[in-house]
Amino acid sequence: QPLVTMLTSSSEEAQTRASGALWHLSSSTSAQGLIAAADGIELLVRLLTSKRVPAANHAACALYHLASNNSNKDAIVKAGGIVPLVSLLGRTQSPEAQDACAALLADLARQSGVKGSIVHSGGIKHLVQLLEQGSSTAQKHAACALWGLASEPNYQNAVANAGAVPHLVKVMTSNEKAQGYATAALCNLAHDAEARRQITAEGGVEPLIVLSHGPPSWLQSQAVGILALLDITAPKPHGGGGLAA
């Protein structure tokens, strides 16, 4: 309770230290319940907009841990956490905070009522930037978030026009952690004519053919689905081979 109370301090240093402590404590399931019961989620959401970026970073990382509980996810959304999470993703340089924001948005993007908030607050642009410049983990979360957003037909063209396709194709062939999510995002996007054009233009067909001839799996089914939408019948491979790094 004292640490949660410190989040409202007039001292930015106190806010930063308290949010840092709560970040580490929030990895404990028992502490998560105590933080939520002390109204910590709402105060951490407020701190996401702090001008002191380290405090905002700590708040995002704490919220990421807290979101492992479904009721806490709902509380983050109810507290208005989507817009400040997107905003922080666009201004932080912290790899930990980038990972936390992208992971939270990826998780919350599966909820139909949240997708619009992410899109209209500029989330697509920041997620595409992470695909291009983020760590391998951030790329995974960004691809997952774009997969969730692109499951809504109304947002597929917006994702394609934001330049996501070239980066998703690159991630699909270079980042094993993110490969599945990138392919799934492309499968959703392939319902859009502009995205289909870009997948072909960016050299996505060949690696998709390789994946389509892999062992039966969710990843393989996504590749087959994209090729079907591209109206491409994959030829049988003449020999072994894998995706180029």
pLDDT digits (tens, 9 = 90+) for 36-95: 999 999 999 999 999 999 999 999 999 999 999 999 999 999 999 999 999 999 999 999
Ordered DSSP codes for 100-160: HHHHHHHHHTTSHHHHHHHHHTTHHHHHHHHHHHS-HHHHHHHHHHHHHHHTSHHHHHHHH
Q: What is the pLDDT of residue 236?
A: 67
What secondary structure letter does DSSP report for 69? S
Beta-carbon neighbour count of residue 136 at 10 Å? 12
Would you state the pLDDT for residue 49? 97
What pLDDT is attached to residue 244?
38
What pLDDT score was predicted for residue 242? 43
**Does residue 142 surpass a pLDDT of 70?**
yes
pLDDT of residue 66: 97
Q: Is 50 exceeded by the pLDDT of residue 241?
A: no
Residue 245 has pLDDT above 60, yes or no: no
Q: How many residues in the chain?
A: 245
Asked whether 58 and 20 are in contact (CB, 8 A), the reply is yes
Q: What is the rounded average pLDDT of the residues 136-144?
A: 96
Average pLDDT along the chain: 93
